[in-house]
Structure 1
Amino acid sequence: MRTTRDFSEIDATMLAEVGGKAANLGELTLAGLPVPPGWALTTDAYRQVAAGLDLTPGDGLAARARRHLLQAPVPGPVREAIMAAYARLGADVPVAVRSSATAEDLPFASFAGQQDSFLNVVGGEAVLDAVRRCWASLWTDRAVAYRESNGIDHAAVRLAVVVQVMVDARVAGVMFTANPVTGRRRETVLDASPGLGEAVVSGAVNPDRFVVSGGEVRERHAGDKRLAVRPLPGGGVERVETAAGGLCLTDAQVLALAALGARVEDHYGAPQDTEWAIGPDGTLWLTQARPITTLHPVPEPAGPGLRVHLSLNVAQGVMGPFTPMGVSAFNLVSSGAAGVFGHAPADRLDGPAFLSEAGQRLWLDLTTPLRSRTGRAVLTRLMPLGEARAAAVVRELADDPRLSVVQNSRRPFLRGLRRFARRVHAPARVRDALLSPARALAYAARVGAELDGRLEPPPGATPAQRLDHAERLLGGTFPAIVSIMPIVITGYALLGLAARLSGTRVGDLQDVLRGVPHNPTTEMDLELWDLATRVEPEPFRDLPAAELARRYQAGELPPRAQQGLAAFLAKYGHRGVAEIDLGVPRWSDDPTHILGVLANYLRIDGDSDLAPAALFAKGARAAREEVDRVAALAARRGRWRGPVVRFALGRTRAYAGLRELPKFHLVRAIAAVRDSLRAVGEHLVRAGVLDDALDVYFLRLEEARAALTGGDLRDLVRERRAAYERESRRRHVPRIMLSDGTEPEALAGPAPEGALTGTAASAGTVTGVARVVLDPTGAHLEPGEILVCPSTDPGWTPLFLTAGGLVMEMGGAMSHGAVVAREYGIPAVVGVPDATRRVTTGQKITLDGSAGTVTP
């Protein structure tokens, strides 16, 4: 490897040799874009100086590494190469000396500002000293922490150094070729200030801001620009106070910069974060470009014009990515769902047209119903029940002229509804729900029993037959389980009738839904509590959950705990966190989470009012009292109304718990396919196609089938695992995204200072200590603490039994977390923006589940 390379010799493929910054500058130079001349000191020089660096983990790692790099001798050939390359730029020419790490300016991690840069460096010895300090900056505390948070191995990172001719900038700044706040693509945002760009990049100045779209300057905001960074004669820079008035760029300059940014984006094929400068003669220069790593990829549009995409992941409380096999499974399930309404796709493995993938997450295209008069009415009425914040965004989007109604006829909707009703025998289900609860509940049980008979592939099934079985089961499960929903819908419709007849609001009848029977999730939680009352307590009080799991899997837990947990997992082991993704482990694969919950339960006094069984019984009593109260209210409005309301609410309570049953059965089917595909993975390992049987979950179904004939997919799986890990660290997933990249929620102003408001989900007021939990696995929640989390699925609900209250960033009044919170009688507020960041663990907060407020 050469020690130095001119920008003209560098392209984007040379990351390992010259680091991210230099690779981008070389790529821009080769593309003919205006980059000040310069060269890169390659990672080989760093390797030589860093030889013998002690990378033993520990608190002193960063300081130890910096000391070594600042004191180790620079080999003679490296020193000579630096001096010669600098001299080629000119005699004592002022240069910028900038770090260029191999883990920097990447599509998934920018590392912006993590390593150091030195401006207006003059003279060979000064350049050599700046190079040393750049090397050492690879080991600043902030750079070490950033690598660790992004899962990047310290030992795998090397540092190159960029040496680039300084631009004596009259004006400089940064430019994003997509709006980094709203996500809108092709909307350029510029920050500019007089002097060197360091003032803007470091945040030391309040710059001017410009927004450009459609070839026009749409916004201009003048900053105070009270500070400028200027080069000093002989080297170094100074910060000087200024009194710059007005805007520092003309519209012509802003548009010229935006056009330059568009060229950069077109070259890379993705939005870019650039740094620029305008020289004394008005020349525009690019001094850096890197991907905007915070933007979420835009889903593929299903049709022309502006499209509206709802994140299925956010709606389901699965913030992480889907595995490739999980995407295949959901494509099959959703194809079955589309078929119920008469819109089955030509190829079920492709999924229906309304489902797309971006950022390894799934998205629903809402454009067609939003642009239909009937569809819009249905969306705006039903969405608040499951995703209140998304519903509010959709209501606002309805006013966007680009999304005006184009379908006024009700016929397409009614045709789909008729197909659905015919397919699931809705009239018969509704009749049974009204006239015979026993028959309705027996039907719901029969659906589960019939599914049981289809879960396993034929005995002795070949790998190909297992894949056939997976496609049949996943494609056919939804039409069967959704036939339960007319019963559930009847129950909730009767709740609405009772509210109308009694003169109350549906939202005021939450207590009716407490302690409802036939809910598989609450039944699961109560069975786990019952197990906690029977197991031997000693190991659970003394050992961490991981060790308890190891002992269980080795058969070494005390007898009652070993047998009881085995029985529980035989019934509920198909469940887990993010359970709708076929590729993620189930509790039966790894019981660490459940054992941690058991340990939490053992901290509760079984005779106290906080015991889950007592809470559930208390909720059922409160529900009966509420039915009596509402029936009495109705009777005052008319004698016949009282009995009708009592009848209606009795049916509501009988069927409300079934709401969780279709998903319960769907997850059983997904888990059964997961188990079956492991045998396919084992076959592919024996055939030399994969390294590990679990790698099969990083293939799609069609790829697994093709692999049965041979090949080598190990490199593909490694790439996908790495991409999955990167996406798992994504900190923000939009709830709704438009096809131009805009996140509509980001267009609204921030909530008032200190105000945390959301949707009332479960009545009651509680004051307690907050516990922010981002991942329920291994989470510890003291009895009475208020759980603050992004969202929930059934994998979270065992934590509810010890929670004093619930705050969620996502969800609506009928979302999973809200339903379970009501059933357990704990106050809950959902749809609270940024709750996990605005509330901290240990903070005392008051939660009002009736008003939908959280007060610090």
Structure 2
Amino acid sequence: PHLSFSFMSRLGECSSGICEIGGKAFHLNRLHERFPVPTGFVITESASTQTLHQLLRELKTPSVAVRSSAVDEDGSSYSFAGMHTTLLHVPCNYSAVQRAIEECKQSVHSDRATKYRAQRQKTSHYLDEIDLTIPIMPIVIQEMIAPLGSGVCFTQHPITKKRNEILLEFVPGLGESLVSGHVTPEQHVYSVSKNQVVLLRKEHGDRMGEEILTDAVALQVVQLCLEVEKASDNIPQDIEFSYDGKQVWLLQARPITTICPTNQLETSDLLSNRTTREVIPHPMTYMSWSAFFEVIHQGLQIRYQKRKMNYTAICGRPDRGFYELRRGFLYQNLTVLDLLSREEFGAGYEETLMRSFSEVPPELFHSLCSKTRISFTKQISGGLGLINYLRKVTDTIERTQYLLDLHRARFPVFLPKSHFDSWCLDALYGEFSSIQEDFIEFGGCYIEAQIYLELLSSIVQGLLEPRNDKKGTSETFNMLLIGLGDVISHKMNLELAEVITSARNDQVVLSYLEQQSPKAHHQRWHNWNEALDGTETQDLLVRFLRNYGHRAICELEVSSPRWGNDPSYIFELMRLPPNCGSNIDIEESKAKREATENEILQACSFATRPIMRWAVSKLQEFIRFRENLKDIVVRFIARQQQILLAIAAQWKEQSILSTLEDIYHISLTHMREFAAGTLSVRDVQALSCRNKELYEEFSSVTIPPKIFCGNKAEVALSGAPGVQMDEGTTKYYGNAGAPGTAIGTAVVIHSLSEIQFLSNCQAESKVLVCSITDPAWTPLFLQVSAVVVETGGVLSHSAIVAREFGIPCVFAIPDLLTMIRSGDILK
């Protein structure tokens, strides 16, 4: 069949935009006006064959190059280099060119182009919509140049990213060998300064024969490319060229896709995952993030509105907030936190953030937080506002306790999945929305409690610093927080210890544990209720799961299996050896705390004593609240998971989803739109599939503790607590999380899938060494004499629980897991 073309235009004469003629043709058309570009024309879809015959005759060349020019090709973000077909030495006759055009057009559907196009959507966030259309594929036809050599010139070095360096690479013949990487090219690096171009170094490639690209011709190419950059609004260019012995021809010019925008760091924020990776160490699914973001965002808006502040206006951009997601991982935006603190309390990052985030290099705060000086008037009003805010602490404590009691009563026990089996979809949608609304209200309370906790912590530590006692501020501060009691995770683990102790004393249970194959993973425990029927352990475990079945490993992620649905982790704990750690004596810890309080108050002046007494007592209240409030958050999330699974079961029956877990890969907005009939089944399936792929990609990478600056630039932590050799002993310096001294054998655990390493270690005293902990790790504290963690803070989970269990804890030792090995003796 004959092709027809609706649009044809000679290069240099076309006035259409990139959406009509594609990326390559658009750039070539602009170049043709001022620079040496092979003669040619661009075509789109359909027109008369007579016009194509005429334009081919005008070329007066035996052969042509037929090249793709898709509308999304050669852009500033994606080049599509090598993704679409280019055909060289095509005979300049209608039938040959017709076949070549068809082949080029079909390449837009190729597997590699389709995958590349999908890869383009792999950003730092999940997708809210998917464009399922295939882009238009215009075609460029040009005279075929017979080059002696071909090359590429980058007007900004793509590797060093130095703006004043130019990289030129050249190979004999056609440029295909350069693009494919089959030949090592000749390489020239130039320096540009005040319009002077100087050759810095030159490296010969594979072919050492006659020199084709002399230094003079290479300099001519560089100067020509600098002119192209100047004509392209001074945007760094990636330019392909050929040299036929007489003339340098420009074949293509596009923005360099590997170079970040020059203003990237100017608009960057300082993001830290030090606090967030403790509670959410893995990528969040899109459902989890969207529900979490709504709770936090609206909770913050309500909170700051009560403080007569506009949270959204202070953030400045819709995509900017207190928390942000990068490739699925949750980060806290310290730049935004600084802006909020300045507005609310008249205090900058020096007073509010640098102590809490001591591992962050000060220069990052200086360069990425606000540089605006806080006026004296603002400092005074902020200070008065802080005093007034602290005066409301008692009201906040009462309100927090009320909400704790209210939601404990709402979620008294863990409901099994079968509870929602008979509910219709509308009822499930309504129940989920109701829970989300209450979650938002509770989220505001949770945020308020966290702010008071940080403020009171800073006040107490500030009051302790002038004392300069032998114990040091950190140890004294920690002694004030031990033996508090009424911490839910501590209570939960004492009950869990009762279950485990019963299991170890019951031959029926021990026999059941021995019979299960370690290769069967969680499915090997599915019949536990029948196998343990009539045993004390069964009764204790059923009661435990009713009370704590909402807990999970990585429990703030909505997709994490709840212990009530899958108690595998608890059975793995039963297989561990008996407790070899410290015996917990809450009364002894309480006595030590009260003695420390009395000692501190006696040392205070008459003026500071009532302030210290008040601040310490309120801080202790909020320390208790921290874990107890988190328990309510987990109860909300667990109930939402049960409802989501019930919805997914009905969607699966209707062939909307392939698996129940697919529902975690759409957003809360998607679910609402589908329920309202504004999102199609096809869209739900495409979004779930694509976001699941993104989630798996994000999960394949372990993000180390880092400070992220903006979207792309990142700086690894350095200069924080380090390593020092002394008399043959390696000393690791971190921060104290819980007081005490212990000597034991290191057991390094990267994740809870490795808890069997505790069983394998036969030492009487063990030290748990890990990256982070969350409540699911707490039972392991019963097995060890001390805990050492890579990240965290004095108010982090590991520190709080270690203090309650009376074992020492050290945190904030960067790269800990690369320096300590299982079997090392630690003190």
* TM-score, length of structure 2 as denominator length: 0.62
For the residues of structure 1 that align with 2:513 and 2:274, how far apart are their CA atoms?
37
Residue from 320, 323, 330 that aligns with 2:282: 320
Give per-residue Cα distances to partners, 1:101-154, cap 9 Å, x unaligned.
9999995999xxxxxxxxxxxxxxxxxxxxxxxxxxxxxxxxxxxxxxxxxxxx
Change in CA separation of 1:442 and 1:324 when aligned onto 2, cut-off 3 Å:
closer
1:466 corresponds to 2:431? yes
For the residues of structure 2 that align with 1:496 and 1:749, how far apart are their CA atoms?
21
Q: Secondary structure at the match of 1:823?
A: helix
Residue 844 of structure 1 corresponds to 824
Change in CA separation of 1:285 and 1:592 when aligned onto 2, cut-off 3 Å:
farther
Change in CA separation of 1:441 and 1:252 when aligned onto 2, cut-off 3 Å:
same
Give per-residue Cα distances to partners, 1:386-411, cap 9 Å, x unaligned.
6542xx34x43343288312654258
Asked if 1 retains the 8 angstrom alpha-carbon contact of 2:482 and 2:593, the reply is no
Please tell me the residue identity of whatever aligns with 2:688. V
Change in CA separation of 1:416 and 1:339 when aligned onto 2, cut-off 3 Å:
farther
For the residues of structure 1 that align with 2:262 and 2:434, how far apart are their CA atoms?
33
Change in CA separation of 1:300 and 1:231 when aligned onto 2, cut-off 3 Å:
closer
Residue 62 of structure 1 corresponds to none
Give per-residue Cα distances to partners, 1:753-811, cap 9 Å, x unaligned.
99865434344565655444333245334264444433332223333333454443332
1:339 corresponds to 2:310? no
Asked if 1 retains the 8 angstrom alpha-carbon contact of 2:168 and 2:188, the reply is yes
Residue from 677, 683, 694 that aligns with 1:723: 694
Residue 543 of structure 2 corresponds to 567
Residue from 517, 521, 524 that aligns with 2:485: 517
Q: Secondary structure at the match of 1:400?
A: helix
Asked if 2 retains the 8 angstrom alpha-carbon contact of 1:631 and 1:643, the reply is no
Residue 58 of structure 1 corresponds to none
For the residues of structure 2 that align with 1:417 and 1:448, how far apart are their CA atoms?
30
Residue from 662, 666, 686 that aligns with 1:699: 666
For the residues of structure 2 that align with 1:795 and 1:697, how far apart are their CA atoms?
21
Q: How many residues align?
A: 666
Larger radius of gyration: 2
Residue 292 of structure 2 corresponds to 330
User: Deviation of residue 221 (structure 1)?
Assistant: 14
User: Deviation of residue 339 (structure 1)?
Assistant: 0.9
Residue from 405, 414, 418 that aligns with 1:446: 405
Change in CA separation of 1:169 and 1:769 when aligned onto 2, cut-off 3 Å:
farther
Which structure 2 residue ranges, 5 or more long, are not aligned?
A: 1-64, 91-99, 101-111, 123-145, 211-217, 504-508, 726-730
For the residues of structure 2 that align with 1:229 and 1:843, how far apart are their CA atoms?
51
Change in CA separation of 1:299 and 1:565 when aligned onto 2, cut-off 3 Å:
farther
Asked if 2 retains the 8 angstrom alpha-carbon contact of 1:429 and 1:486, the reply is no
Deviates further, 576-585 or 380-389:
380-389
For the residues of structure 2 that align with 1:176 and 1:513, how far apart are their CA atoms?
55
For the residues of structure 2 that align with 1:522 and 1:732, how far apart are their CA atoms?
29
Deviates further, 668-677 or 314-323:
314-323
User: Deviation of residue 211 (structure 1)?
Assistant: 11
Please tell me the residue identity of whatever aligns with 1:24. A
For the residues of structure 1 that align with 2:709 and 2:804, how far apart are their CA atoms?
36
Change in CA separation of 1:278 and 1:9 when aligned onto 2, cut-off 3 Å:
closer
Which structure 1 residue ranges, 5 or more long, are not aligned?
A: 1-5, 15-20, 31-35, 40-84, 86-99, 111-164, 181-185, 235-248, 433-439, 848-856
Correspondence 1:609-758 to 2 at 5 A? 610-611=580-581, 614-617=582-585, 621-622=588-589, 624-625=591-592, 627-628=594-595, 631-632=598-599, 635=602, 656-709=623-676, 711-712=680-681, 713-732=684-703, 735-739=706-710, 741-745=712-716, 757-758=733-734
Correspondence 1:208-219 to 2 at 5 A? none
Residue 530 of structure 2 corresponds to 556
For the residues of structure 2 that align with 1:770 and 1:209, how far apart are their CA atoms?
51
Asked if 1 retains the 8 angstrom alpha-carbon contact of 2:327 and 2:698, the reply is yes
Residue 793 of structure 1 corresponds to 774
Q: Secondary structure at the match of 2:81?
A: helix
Asked if 2 retains the 8 angstrom alpha-carbon contact of 1:502 and 1:630, the reply is no
For the residues of structure 2 that align with 1:329 and 1:464, how far apart are their CA atoms?
14
Give per-residue Cα distances to partners, 1:224-248, cap 9 Å, x unaligned.
x9x97633679xxxxxxxxxxxxxx
User: Deviation of residue 532 (structure 1)?
Assistant: 0.9
Q: Percent identity?
A: 19
User: Deviation of residue 352 (structure 1)?
Assistant: 8.0
Correspondence 1:594-613 to 2 at 5 A? 594-600=570-576, 603-604=577-578, 606=579, 610-611=580-581
Change in CA separation of 1:651 and 1:557 when aligned onto 2, cut-off 3 Å:
farther
Deviates further, 443-452 or 704-713:
443-452
Residue 559 of structure 2 corresponds to 583
Change in CA separation of 1:646 and 1:330 when aligned onto 2, cut-off 3 Å:
closer
Q: Secondary structure at the match of 2:498?
A: helix
Please tell me the residue identity of whatever aligns with 1:336. G
For the residues of structure 2 that align with 1:670 and 1:650, how far apart are their CA atoms?
31
Change in CA separation of 1:312 and 1:498 when aligned onto 2, cut-off 3 Å:
closer
User: Deviation of residue 469 (structure 1)?
Assistant: 1.2
User: Deviation of residue 326 (structure 1)?
Assistant: 0.9
User: Deviation of residue 455 (structure 1)?
Assistant: 10
Residue from 471, 477, 501 that aligns with 2:442: 477
Please tell me the residue identity of whatever aligns with 1:722. E
Asked if 2 retains the 8 angstrom alpha-carbon contact of 1:494 and 1:651, the reply is no
For the residues of structure 2 that align with 1:746 and 1:468, how far apart are their CA atoms?
41
Correspondence 1:308-387 to 2 at 5 A? 308-311=270-273, 314-334=276-296, 335-342=298-305, 353-371=321-339, 373=342, 377=347, 379-383=349-353, 387=357
Asked if 2 retains the 8 angstrom alpha-carbon contact of 1:356 and 1:363, the reply is yes
Deviates further, 790-799 or 714-723:
790-799
User: Deviation of residue 446 (structure 1)?
Assistant: 2.6
Give per-residue Cα distances to partners, 1:414-455, cap 9 Å, x unaligned.
798699779xx634356x8xxxxxxx9975753544554899
Q: Secondary structure at the match of 2:772?
A: coil
Note the aligned Cα RMSD (angstroms). 6.3
Asked if 2 retains the 8 angstrom alpha-carbon contact of 1:398 and 1:404, the reply is no
Deviates further, 541-550 or 553-562:
541-550
Please tell me the residue identity of whatever aligns with 1:714. Q
Change in CA separation of 1:653 and 1:633 when aligned onto 2, cut-off 3 Å:
closer
Please tell me the residue identity of whatever aligns with 2:500. A
Change in CA separation of 1:743 and 1:500 when aligned onto 2, cut-off 3 Å:
same
For the residues of structure 2 that align with 1:636 and 1:345, how far apart are their CA atoms?
42
Asked if 2 retains the 8 angstrom alpha-carbon contact of 1:518 and 1:657, the reply is yes
Q: Secondary structure at the match of 2:206?
A: strand
Q: Secondary structure at the match of 1:813?
A: coil
Q: Secondary structure at the match of 1:715?
A: helix
Asked if 2 retains the 8 angstrom alpha-carbon contact of 1:494 and 1:648, the reply is yes
Change in CA separation of 1:791 and 1:353 when aligned onto 2, cut-off 3 Å:
same
Residue 499 of structure 2 corresponds to 531
Q: Secondary structure at the match of 1:230?
A: coil
Correspondence 1:98-247 to 2 at 5 A? 107=119, 177=158, 230-231=206-207
1:25 corresponds to 2:6? no
For the residues of structure 2 that align with 1:688 and 1:412, how far apart are their CA atoms?
60
For the residues of structure 1 that align with 2:282 and 2:672, how far apart are their CA atoms?
26
Change in CA separation of 1:209 and 1:376 when aligned onto 2, cut-off 3 Å:
farther
Deviates further, 791-800 or 309-318:
309-318
For the residues of structure 2 that align with 1:376 and 1:666, how far apart are their CA atoms?
31
For the residues of structure 2 that align with 1:732 and 1:840, how far apart are their CA atoms?
19
Residue from 798, 808, 815 that aligns with 1:834: 815
Give per-residue Cα distances to partners, 1:528-556, cap 9 Å, x unaligned.
22211111334335645675843543223
Asked if 2 retains the 8 angstrom alpha-carbon contact of 1:341 and 1:417, the reply is no
Residue 824 of structure 1 corresponds to 805
